[in-house]
Amino acid sequence: MSQGNFILREPEYEALLSILRRLLMDASAKVAFLVDKNGTLLASAGDAVGFDTTSLASLAAGNIAATGGLANLIGEKEFSILFHEGERDNMHLSVVAERLILVIVFDRRSSVGLVRLRVRQATARLTEVVAAALAAGDADPGGIEELTEADIESLFK
């Protein structure tokens, strides 16, 4: 898990996006984010304009990591679902394919039961796409082949 790069190409990205859009509608949710466990945003659907998505991704990963640590302390592998209830909006976080986190923000137009049901359905589809992305990454481990020292130096000018 800690070696090599995770590479997301156009077909898999589009597939993830399409699953998130469908999930958003089916769950009557406001926004859906897919984040990797290291805290990077992969894709989002819905009205994410008002959100600081970079911070959200980092904190969601921290949240899952911390509760995973708690789970280990009581002999559980991880707590795969977290639910945070707010006054207006709620957040549902779940682990997908062991390496990603699906974050759903919803309000009173939906319910935790509906979100949980739809997330379960979407998770199976997301898992297939992630497996395809990983297989494609294994076939071509990527890296930016043509990167030169001059390219790297240009970032600091």
Partner 1 sequence: MSFINYSSREINCKIVYYGPGLCGKTTNLQFIYKRMSPEARGKMISLATESERTLFFDFLPLSLGEIRGFKTRFHLYTVPGQVFYDASRRLILRGVDGVVFCADSQLTRVDANEESMENLRVNLREQGYDPDRIPMVIQYNKRDLPNVASLAELHALLNRRNVPEFEASATTGVGVFETLKAVIKLVLIDLKRGGRQ
Residue closer to partner 1 (CB basis): 63 or 127:
63
x/- map, 54-93, partner 1, by CB under 8 A: xx--xx--x--xx-xx------------------------
Please, are residues 58 and 67 in contact by the beta-carbon 8 Å criterion?
Answer: no
For position 1 contacting partner 1 by CB under 8 A, the verdict is yes
Q: Give the tokens for residue 123.
A: 């998770």
Q: Give the tokens for residue 136.
A: 């494609």
Host H or E run for residue 23 = helix 10-26
For position 98 contacting partner 1 by CB under 8 A, the verdict is no
Please, are residues 133 and 56 in contact by the beta-carbon 8 Å criterion?
Answer: no
CB neighbours of 44 closer than 8 A, spacing ≥ 6? 20, 31, 32, 33, 34, 53
- Amino acid letter for position 133: A
Residue closer to partner 1 (CB basis): 97 or 114:
97
Number of residues that bind partner 1 (CB under 8 A): 40
Out of 7, 97, 114, 134, the residue judged to bind partner 1 by CB under 8 A = 7
Strand order in the sheet with 81-85: 41-46, 31-36, 100-106, 90-96, 81-85
8-16, 23-31, 90-98, 111-119 -> range binding partner 1 (CB under 8 A): 8-16
Chain contacts with partner 1 (rule: CB under 8 A): 1-10, 13-14, 36-40, 42, 52, 54-55, 58-59, 62, 65-66, 68-69, 141-147, 151-152, 154-156
